[in-house]
Structure 1
Amino acid sequence: MRFIPTRFHGILDYIYGPLLIISPWLFGFSDVSYATWTAVVIGIALTALTVMTDYEVGIIKKIPMQTHLMLDFGAGVILALTPWMFGFADAVYTPHLIFGIFAILASLTTHRIPSESYRREHAQEERAR
């Protein structure tokens, strides 16, 4: 059941990525290097993905929304599992698990295609070029 509009998903992405990047300092696990680097690297990657996705809030508009959602899903699975994959679950796992589950759920509940009005407007822009 997909009920999240792509525009709203994009707005969440611009909050989610930077929040993931600063989460080690915000949630107090910056002294755990694997936990910190995992959050920062995935946060940077997802922010870059947001900027490059072809939807209402994308800037470069090169990655299709369906690809974006698949990458969100994969990043969420990886993020949720990294505390156990990299062995830092004894020190911290909750932020990674929550951020990972959030990404998985967002990817599964967001529309695969941007709104009709966006597609119409975007097609007009392409024809004008």
Structure 2
Amino acid sequence: MKLRFISPTMHGVADYSAGLGLILFPIILNLGESSDLAFWFSIGTGIAVWIASALTNYKLGLLRTIPFEGHLAIDLLVAATFMAVPFLFSFQGIDAYYYWINAAVVFLVVSLSDSNESIKTII
């Protein structure tokens, strides 16, 4: 069984969906009880995810300037940041859990993403 089954195209769909979620879920979950930063950091990250996705060299990228492997490295940095942010800024309760769950999901998606699909085969 192939462990890396998320194609760059599927990863792109996940990226744009995650960006939307990072913008909407702070509102839905009423984040910010322990710190206003918990609310705004998610929204800012959601916007940054859309920008990075638009710049990534995959089927759903618009400018295609960031190699997909570079995009995966950015995702790992985001996941590590999401793990650390609750500790660094003393997030408590739902604010902390939100970031830890997001970190776990991003780590999982990156670990299951296959970077072998070339842009030439998906256009």
2:120 corresponding residue in structure 1: 119
Deviation at residue 20 of structure 1 after TM alignment:
0.5
1:127 corresponding residue in structure 2: none
The one-character-per-residue Cα deviations of 1:83-125 (angstroms, maximum 9, x if unpaired) are 1111122562111111111111111210123x24x32466xxx
Does the alignment pair 1:89 with 2:87? no
2-side partners of 1:12 and 1:19: how far apart?
Answer: 10
Q: CA RMSD in A?
A: 1.8
Q: Please tell me whether the aligned partners of residues 51 and 61 of structure 1 are also in contact (alpha carbons under 8 angstroms).
A: yes
Unaligned runs of 5+ in 1: 123-129
1:25-36 aligned at under 5 Å gives the runs 25-31=27-33, 32-36=35-39
Deviation at residue 56 of structure 1 after TM alignment:
1.0
1:1-129 aligned at under 5 Å gives the runs 1-31=3-33, 32-90=35-93, 92-113=95-116, 115-116=117-118, 118-120=119-121
Moved over 3 A (4+): none
Deviation at residue 52 of structure 1 after TM alignment:
0.5
| Higher mean C-alpha deviation, range 38-47 or range 48-57 | 38-47
TM-score (norm 1): 0.83
TM-score (norm 2): 0.87
Partner of 2:95, secondary structure, is: coil
Q: Please tell me whether the aligned partners of residues 59 and 122 of structure 2 are also in contact (alpha carbons under 8 angstroms).
A: no
